[in-house]
């Protein structure tokens, strides 16, 4: 029987857990009408052929008390825990921290050693650099660092906002990478980068059809950071121009960005696979993305399909 991965979203009420899940699903309507979750909402996902169930746990005190009283039923077999904290509600940081501490105690009792992600959420683009938010970010980081040391666990921290979908994709993709050893895809992308660097390729990111990152390879961290900054633009282009092409049609978009150098970025929809993928390639001004795309389709699509098949078989 195929393995089912369990991802638990926790946090206080109004922290933004349900909104995060809706954005990850690509569902934008009704975000302003979301009310605090009552009890538990479970949603099934399929990512790269792997079955995942997300548990969205309501954050009102009555539900938190219920989860802690029945923590075995709620937390048993958790593979990834994502704790969401509202960075605009400083009055509740200690309350959230105490709840997180209780959850870590429950995980200790169950002897569950799962990856932990902390979302410093509602760090919206227009305020994330403001003095109050920076103060809150520093204060919360120190608070949760203390919990990390007390329980001897590693907590991966992400600054997130529903108005910066890239931040949510990066966070969730990191979590998926902790569950499923998809590093093989990054290895294949690095082979692709090495073969095409002479024609100007600097790096690339591979997305699944829901725009979760499933692999990447770059010549250096600065190039990677610059390419990541284009993700929101390409997601918007892909969404807004869907009326131009059919689901099974290959499509590509290009952007040019100049700082001290001129870089070109190309998003190419790959339809020659069992499930569609998107390949975001970063290159120097001179790079011919059509030639690069041809190389990828001719030599690397089959490698990715085989890598995924081998990975699924090894887990099953």
Q: From CA 253, how far away is CA 189, in angstroms rounded?
A: 20
Strands, sheet with 116-121, edge to edge from the N-terminal-most edge strand: 40-47, 50-57, 4-11, 80-86, 116-121, 155-159
For residue 219, indicate whether it is catalytic.
Answer: no
Nearest CA to 228 out of 205, 200, 257 is that of 205
Torsion sign (Cα): 34, 123, 22, 251 = positive
Say which of 60, 88, 187, 219 is annotated catalytic: 60
Q: Are 88 and 122 in contact (CB under 8 A)?
A: yes
Cα dihedral: 168, 4, 177, 67 (round 10): 50
Strands 116-121 and 155-159: parallel
Q: Which residues does the annotation mark as catalytic?
A: 60
């Amino acid at each position: 029987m195929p393995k089912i991965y369990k991802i638990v979203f926790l946090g206080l009420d109004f922290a933004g857990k349900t909104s995060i899940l809706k954005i990850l699903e690509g569902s934008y309507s009704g975000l302003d009408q979301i009310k605090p979750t009552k009890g538990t909402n479970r949603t099934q996902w399929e990512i790269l052929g792997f079955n995942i169930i997300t548990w969205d746990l309501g954050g009102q005190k009555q539900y938190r008390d219920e989860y802690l009283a029945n923590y075995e039923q709620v937390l048993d077999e958790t593979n990834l825990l994502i704790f969401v904290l509202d960075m605009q509600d400083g009055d509740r940081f200690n309350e959230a921290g105490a709840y997180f501490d209780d959850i870590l105690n429950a995980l200790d009792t169950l002897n569950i050693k799962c990856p932990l992600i902390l979302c410093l959420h509602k760090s919206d683009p227009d305020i994330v650099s403001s003095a109050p938010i920076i103060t809150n970010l520093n204060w919360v980081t120190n608070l949760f660092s203390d919990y990390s040391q007390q329980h001897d666990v590693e907590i991966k921290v992400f600054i997130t906002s529903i108005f910066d979908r890239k931040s949510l994709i990066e966070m969730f993709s990191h979590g998926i990478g902790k569950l499923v050893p998809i590093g093989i895809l990054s290895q294949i992308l690095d082979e692709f980068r090495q073969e095409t660097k002479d024609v100007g390729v600097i790096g690339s990111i591979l997305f699944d059809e829901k725009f979760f990152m499933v692999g990447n390879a770059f010549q250096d961290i600065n190039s990677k950071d610059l390419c990541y900054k284009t993700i929101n633009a390409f997601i918007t282009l892909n969404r807004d121009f869907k009326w131009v092409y059919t689901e099974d049609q290959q499509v590509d978009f290009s952007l040019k960005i100049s700082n001290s150098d001129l870089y070109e970025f190309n998003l190419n929809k790959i339809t020659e696979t069992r499930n569609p993928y998107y390949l975001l390639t970063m290159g120097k001004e001179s790079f011919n993305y059509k030639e690069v795309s041809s190389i990828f389709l001719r030599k690397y699509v089959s490698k990715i399909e085989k890598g995924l098949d081998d990975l699924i078989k090894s887990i099953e």
